[in-house]
C-alpha cells in the first residue's frame, strides 16, 4: 500500500510502498478515503515533537471503510467510519494517563491507503459529510470541543474570543461557539481570514498585527467571558485586560512562545481562570460527533491534495496559508 512515511530527519516526507497490516483481536483495517493534516504532523516533520521515531506513517485524522476485522470487530465490516485519534486516555476524565498516545506517532497513522486501529476508536461517519469533510473532524474538532464545553463551560450568550482563527482548530472553535449561541470575536494576521470568519458567523474580528488590537477588541465587545488561544507569546499579556470578571482563558498550544510575565492583579481580582487542555476523552469524542450531527456542522476544508502531492500539502501547512483544514484524498 502507499503511505506518507516519516523516513528520516533528512527526508521527513516520503510517499512510498509499505506492507499492508493485518488486524488481530479487537482490531480492524480501515481503507482510508481521506486524511487531514494537523499542525502536529508538521511539527513532527520538523523534528519539534517528543518521541519521534523512524519510520512512521503520519496522520491522526482519517475517514474510510472497514475492509477487514479481527475477533470482536466483525460488526464494523463494510461500515463508513471516522477514527478517534485520542488513544488510551486513562481512567481520569480530567487529564490523560501515562499511556496516552495520539494516532500517527508512535503508531502508524492515517496518511496511507489502509490503517490498523482498535475497533473501540471507530465511529460512524456523519452522513451529511463527504469523505474529505469527515476526515477533517477528529483531532481539531475534539480539541475545540473539550476547550469550549468541558474546560470553558460555554453557554448561550457568552462572549467568546478566538485568538488566531485561521487553522483547523480555530475554525472549529468558531463553528462550535456560533452553533451554541455565543457571540464570537476573532483575531488573525490576515484580513482575508477575518472576512471568512465573519461569513462563518463571527460578530467581528481584528488584526493582531495592529499595535492596539486589544483596545479595539475591548471597544467592540466590552469584554469576554471565554478566550481560547493556541499562540500565547508576548501578546498573551494583553488578554486578561479584555476579560470579564470570572472569565476562562483556555489554551492548547504555544506557537508564538510561552506565557510571558503578566500583571497578576487582573487575574486574581477578576477571578480569571487560565486552563490548559489537549485532545479529549472517548465520551467527549462521542458528544462532539453528536453535536456535529445535531447542528449539521460542515468542516471548513481549505484545499484537497492527492496522496502523491503530500509534500506540497505540508509546505502549505508550514506557510500557515490555510483557512480550515488541508486534506489528502487517498482513494
Tell whether the model's pLDDT for residue 19 goes beyond 90: yes
Angle between helices 138-145 and 282-294 (to 10 degrees): 100
Least reliable range by pLDDT among 68-72, 195-199, 237-241, 269-273 = 237-241
Mean pLDDT of the chain: 93
Q: Which residue is associated with the grid cell 517528543?
A: 50
- pLDDT above 70 as % of the chain: 98
**Calpha distance 152→53 (Å, rounded):** 35
Enter the pTM of the model.
Answer: 0.93
Residues 55, 59, 63, CA angle at the centre, nearest 5°?
Answer: 135
Q: Which runs of consecutive H residues, i.e. helices, occur in 13-64? A: 39-45
How high is the pLDDT of residue 260?
74
pLDDT in tens, 162-175: 998 888 899 999 99
How high is the pLDDT of residue 270?
95
Angle between helices 168-179 and 138-145 (to 10 degrees): 50
**Calpha distance 212→203 (Å, rounded):** 19
Tell whether the model's pLDDT for residue 68 goes beyond 90: yes
CB neighbourhood size of 150 (10 A): 19
pLDDT in tens, 74-97: 999 999 999 999 999 999 999 999
Taking every pair of C-alpha atoms in the chain, what is the biggest distance, in angstroms? Answer: 60
Higher-pLDDT residue of 32 and 322 is 32
Grid cell, residue 112, equals 496511507
Q: Which runs of consecutive H residues, i.e. helices, occur in 187-280? A: 191-199, 213-221, 264-269
How high is the pLDDT of residue 238?
85
How high is the pLDDT of residue 144?
95
Residues 172 and 148: beta-carbon distance below 8 Å: no
Q: How many helices (H) and strands (E) in the chain?
A: 9, 18
CB neighbourhood size of 67 (10 A): 15
Give me the domains of the chain, ranges plus CATH numbers. Answer: 2-139+297-329 (3.90.180.10), 152-276 (3.40.50.720)
Tell whether the model's pLDDT for residue 198 goes beyond 80: yes
Residues 280 and 150: beta-carbon distance below 8 Å: yes
How high is the pLDDT of residue 321?
85
Tell whether the model's pLDDT for residue 254 goes beyond 70: no
Higher-pLDDT residue of 231 and 215 is 215
- pLDDT above 90 as % of the chain: 78
Tell whether the model's pLDDT for residue 233 goes beyond 70: no
Least reliable range by pLDDT among 57-61, 118-122, 258-262, 300-304 = 258-262
**Calpha distance 106→49 (Å, rounded):** 11
Amino acid at each position: 500500500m502507499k503511505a506518507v512515511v516519516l523516513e528520516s530527519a533528512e527526508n521527513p516526507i516520503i510517499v512510498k510502498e509499505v506492507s499492508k497490516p493485518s488486524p488481530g483481536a479487537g482490531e480492524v483495517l480501515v481503507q482510508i478515503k481521506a486524511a487531514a493534516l494537523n499542525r502536529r504532523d508538521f511539527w513532527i516533520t520538523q523534528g519539534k515533537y517528543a518521541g519521534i521515531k523512524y519510520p512512521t506513517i503520519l496522520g491522526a485524522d482519517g475517514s474510510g471503510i472497514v475492509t477487514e476485522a479481527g475477533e470482536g470487530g466483525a460488526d464494523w465490516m463494510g461500515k463508513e467510519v471516522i477514527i478517534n485519534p485520542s488513544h488510551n486516555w486513562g481512567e481520569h476524565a480530567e487529564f490523560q494517563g501515562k499511556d496516552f498516545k495520539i494516532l500517527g506517532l508512535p503508531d502508524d497513522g492515517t496518511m496511507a491507503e489502509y490503517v490498523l486501529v482498535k475497533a473501540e476508536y471507530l465511529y460512524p461517519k456523519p452522513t451529511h459529510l463527504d469523505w474529505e469533510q469527515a476526515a477533517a473532524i477528529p483531532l481539531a474538532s475534539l480539541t475545540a470541543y473539550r476547550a469550549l464545553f468541558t474546560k470553558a463551560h460555554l453557554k448561550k450568550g457568552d462572549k467568546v474570543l478566538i485568538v488566531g482563527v485561521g487553522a483547523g482548530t480555530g475554525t472549529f472553535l468558531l463553528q462550535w461557539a456560533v452553533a451554541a449561541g455565543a457571540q464570537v470575536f476573532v483575531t488573525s494576521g490576515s484580513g482575508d481570514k477575518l472576512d471568512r470568519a465573519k461569513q462563518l458567523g463571527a460578530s467581528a474580528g481584528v488584526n493582531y498585527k495592529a499595535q492596539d488590537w486589544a483596545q479595539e477588541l475591548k471597544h467592540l465587545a466590552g469584554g469576554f467571558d471565554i478566550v481560547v488561544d493556541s499562540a500565547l507569546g508576548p501578546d498573551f499579556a494583553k488578554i486578561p485586560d479584555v476579560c470579564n470578571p470570572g472569565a476562562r482563558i483556555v489554551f492548547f498550544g504555544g506557537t508564538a512562545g510561552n506565557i510571558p510575565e503578566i500583571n497578576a492583579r487582573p487575574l486574581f481580582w477578576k477571578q480569571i481562570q487560565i486552563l490548559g487542555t489537549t485532545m479529549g476523552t472517548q465520551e467527549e469524542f462521542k458528544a462532539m460527533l453528536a453535536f456535529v450531527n445535531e447542528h449539521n456542522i460542515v468542516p471548513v476544508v481549505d484545499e484537497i491534495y492527492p496522496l502523491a502531492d503530500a509534500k506540497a500539502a505540508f509546505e502549505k501547512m508550514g506557510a500557515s496559508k490555510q483557512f480550515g483544514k488541508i486534506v489528502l484524498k487517498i482513494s
